Amino acid sequence: MKKLFSMLALTLALTACGSDDDDTPSVDIDSATVLKVTQIEFDNASHTFTFSLNDGAGLPVTGAENAKYKMMYLGHTPATVTAFSVPWHHAVLCSAGFEVEGSCMGELKEKSLGNYSFTPDTVPTETWQNKRLAITIAGALRQNKAEVIIIDSNAS
């Protein structure tokens, strides 16, 4: 009886120390009816950025690394002194799954529950100024509303 009690106590102790990560509520990208991109951080050196994706109620959205996406880098070159002095605007579109083909692909990875990083395989030129970023992620039911986000300190 003592052996049985010891084995039962050991089993209970081992299962009670399990991870709570599996119990964290989340929503799969293809089940989400709202997609919201938040907490965007940009690395100017690699043009990699991280962001959080939630369902609007704050639950993390998982599975976006297999979803359709459009990541657009925007900017313009410094103004040249001419009769018109108009800077030229540029864009690099990285996309997967949409009919519109981008000029680059990239790698979208889920780093932790609802937190992602994106690394483009084509880097916009370093001479761009007023850099901005627009992120679109699409699940089976919804895609987020792309907002243009300022990503450098030279922006006006």
Residue 11: inside a domain: no
Query: What distance in Å separates the CA atoms of residue 94 and residue 101, rounded to the nearest whole number?
Result: 8
Residue 108: inside a domain: yes
Domains of the chain: total: 1
pTM of the model: 0.76
Residue 60: inside a domain: yes
Q: What is the CATH number of the domain that holds 113?
A: 2.60.40
pLDDT digits (tens, 9 = 90+) for 52-65: 999 989 999 999 99
Residue 5: inside a domain: no
pLDDT digits (tens, 9 = 90+) for 74-105: 888 776 666 665 666 788 899 999 888 788 88
Residue 136: inside a domain: yes
Q: How many CA atoms are closer than 13 Å to the CA of 59, on its beta-carbon side?
A: 15
Question: Which residue range is the domain that position 145 belongs to?
Answer: 27-150
